[in-house]
Amino acid sequence: MAVFEAARSSAGHYTAEELLKKSRALDRSVSRATVYRALPLLIECNVVREVDVGRDHKYYLTETGSTPFRAQLICGHCDTILEVDAPFMEWYGKAVAAKHGMKPISQKLQVTALCPKCQK
């Protein structure tokens, strides 16, 4: 429950290690293994979304019930992640899948760029 509460109260993107720290603040008995076992369950229940930016670790974002069609702008230097609405993704995914006789299950769009700070 501490992992669930820590995830629910987290704003923005966070790593598993950051979630561990926040979970331990709620319950000192939470172990690293507990967090890593809980994350797939939270993802499967759509409480948390995994964001893979192609690094040696993943980021997580607590779902807030907003539009499921969001894209990520990821700074290729500092890993800043911005979530942006991408309502066109629903239409695009359905159109491309239908063209090939398929039904979409999930989709994602990530754009790697340099944030203003890293451009300098």
Per-domain residue ranges of the chain: 1-65, 66-120
What is the per-residue pLDDT across 50-66, written as a single tens digit (0 to 9) for each? Answer: 888 877 889 998 987 66
> What's the whole-model pTM score?
0.72
Give dist(CA 118, CA 28) in Å, integer. Answer: 37
Q: Please say whether the beta carbons of 107 and 89 come within 8 A.
A: yes
The number of helix segments (H) and strand segments (E) in the chain equals 5, 6
Q: Please say whether the beta carbons of 32 and 39 come within 8 A.
A: no
What is the per-residue pLDDT across 3-33, written as a single tens digit (0 to 9) for each? Answer: 999 999 998 899 999 999 999 999 999 999 9
Mean pLDDT confidence for 39-58: 88
Structure tokens at 48: 């948390």
User: Does the domain spanning 66-120 belong to CATH 3.30.390.30?
Assistant: no
Counting residues of the chain whose pLDDT is more than 70, the rounded percentage is: 97
- CATH of region 1-65, choose from 1.20.1090.10, 3.30.70.270, 1.10.10.10, 3.40.50.300: 1.10.10.10
Instruction: Give residue 68's pLDDT.
Output: 66
Mean pLDDT confidence for 71-90: 87
